[in-house]
């Protein structure tokens, strides 16, 4: 069932289930004495590991809160009257901080996601991907070999264009990011498994709800602050390729010549970062990384245009706090301001699970 979050006459419960470190479906216990005021979840759309959390328990000195060493902790939010629940994170315990006060022991558990676990893991021998091999085939093998749970239903595969070698000590998460190359987005579900889903740009997705701070029934608390980063946008891009060519001179000696070839893309005059508007031009630079040994100027110009487009993600963003509305990093919302409506990506979310306040601190980025 769904919950009307504007109806504030509801109670919620926070449960901290203990989960087998190898099997997301195996519950091995539950933390006792969970203190909702000490429980929070932090999400970031552009953060490599996506989500982290803290869980607090309070029990009398000498008593156990039931934690089983090496178990993961799954934070579950429930609204019993509505029959609603949400698994917010199933995280590995990366720190436990105990303290004693007035006859009670408080323990604060720090949790990190399954993506964090593979950011700490490295390959120990070369991984060679043949030209034409499938990226998801490589990803599946690497994860299965380590008994890491994942869900690739909905992934978009790609053919690897040229022989690619990953050296020992390459971190596993970095390897997966590189090999999927933006075709599939790596994320993690609240249940625990790493997920692969076809990447859809935030600007191409439909907003799920509207946030209007001036609506009489708004959940927004306090001020809405704005940050405008458009001044950081580049107005042009240049991509270079360093080429070498060896020939024989008349005496039969080998002569090597070097050339730096470049492709340039410049924003149209109407662009906010154009020289026409600013009076100066800011470049973003890159080195060609395609599969052509001697890319033409036209090919470099196309690469420069792609680099330029990829650099255009800076813009307006807003930060606000509102009562809980089950928003998560990656959601798309419409934010209403005095100058109109803005399609926004929920970039970061800091959720307080305190049953008294139930707030979410949001960063919304215009897309």
In a shared domain, residues 207 and 354: yes
What is the pLDDT of the chain when averaged over all its residues? 94
361: domain range? 202-229+315-366
Name the nearest CA neighbour of 31 among 51, 54, 56.
56
Among candidate residues 112, 144, 172, the one where a domain is terminated? 112
- What CATH number does the domain containing 163 carry? 3.55.50
Label residue 156 exposed, middle or buried (CB < 10 Å: 0-12, 13-18, 19+). Answer: middle
Last residue of a domain, one of 66, 86, 112: 112
What is the percent of the chain with per-residue pLDDT over 70, rounded to a whole number?
99
Q: Does residue 70 sit in the same domain as residue 180?
A: no
Q: Which residues contact 285 (CB under 8 A, 6 or more apart)?
A: 237, 238, 239, 240
CA Rg value for the chain: 25
Which tens digits make up the pLDDT trace of 260-311? 999 999 999 999 899 999 999 999 999 998 777 889 999 999 999 999 988 8
Q: Work out how many domains the chain is built from and give that number.
A: 4
pTM of the entire predicted model: 0.83
For residues 243 and 280, membership in a common domain is answered with yes
CB 47 within 8 A of CB 56: no
Distance of CA 190 to the CA centre of its chain: 14
If asked whether residues 158 and 130 sit together in one domain, one would say yes
Residues of the chain with pLDDT under 50: none
**8 in a domain, yes or no?**
no
As a whole number of angstroms, the distance between CA 41 and CA 321 comes to 14
- pLDDT at residue 314, as a whole number: 65
Query: Which pLDDT score is estimated for 241?
Result: 93
Q: Is 349 domain-assigned?
A: yes
How far apart, in Å, do the first and last CA atoms of the chain sit? 31
Same-domain status, 20 and 160: no
Last residue of a domain, one of 310, 339, 358: 310
Residues 135 and 192 in one domain: yes
HSE at residue 96, side-chain half, CA atoms within 13 A, is 15
């Amino acid at each position: 069932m769904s919950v009307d979050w504007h109806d504030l006459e509801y109670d919620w419960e926070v449960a901290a289930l203990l989960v087998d470190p190898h099997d997301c479906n195996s519950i091995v216990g539950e933390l006792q004495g969970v203190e909702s005021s000490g429980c929070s979840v932090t999400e970031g759309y552009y953060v490599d590991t996506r989500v982290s959390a803290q869980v607090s328990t309070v029990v009398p000195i000498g008593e156990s809160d039931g934690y089983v060493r090496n178990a993961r902790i799954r934070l579950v939010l429930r609204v019993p009257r509505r029959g609603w629940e949400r698994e917010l994170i199933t995280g590995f315990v990366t720190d436990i901080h105990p303290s004693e006060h007035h006859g009670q022991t408080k323990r604060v558990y720090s949790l990190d996601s399954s993506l964090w676990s593979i950011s700490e893991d490295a390959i120990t021998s070369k991984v060679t991907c043949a030209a034409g091999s499938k990226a998801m085939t490589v990803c599946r093998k690497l994860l299965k070999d380590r008994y890491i749970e994942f869900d690739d239903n909905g992934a978009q595969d790609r053919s690897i264009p040229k022989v690619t070698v990953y050296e020992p000590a390459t971190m596993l998460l970095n390897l997966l990011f590189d090999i999927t190359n933006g075709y599939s987005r790596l994320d993690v579900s609240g249940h625990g498994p790493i997920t692969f889903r076809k990447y859809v740009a935030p600007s191409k997705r439909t907003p799920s709800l509207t946030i209007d701070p001036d609506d009489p029934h708004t959940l927004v608390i306090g001020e809405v602050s704005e940050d405008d980063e458009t001044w950081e946008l580049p107005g042009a891009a240049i991509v270079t390729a360093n080429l070498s060519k060896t020939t024989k001179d008349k005496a039969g000696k080998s002569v090597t010549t070097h050339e730096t070839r470049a492709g340039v893309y410049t924003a149209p005059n109407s662009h906010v970062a154009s020289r026409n508007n600013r009076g100066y031009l800011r470049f973003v630079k890159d080195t060609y990384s395609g599969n052509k040994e001697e890319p033409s100027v036209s090919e470099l110009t196309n690469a420069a245009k792609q680099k330029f487009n990829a650099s255009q993600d800076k813009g307006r963003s807003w930060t606000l706090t509102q009562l809980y509305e089950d928003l998560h990093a990656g959601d798309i919302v419409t934010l209403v301001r005095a100058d109109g409506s803005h399609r926004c990506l929920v970039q970061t979310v800091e959720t307080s699970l305190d049953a008294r306040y139930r707030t979410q601190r949001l960063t919304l980025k215009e897309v």
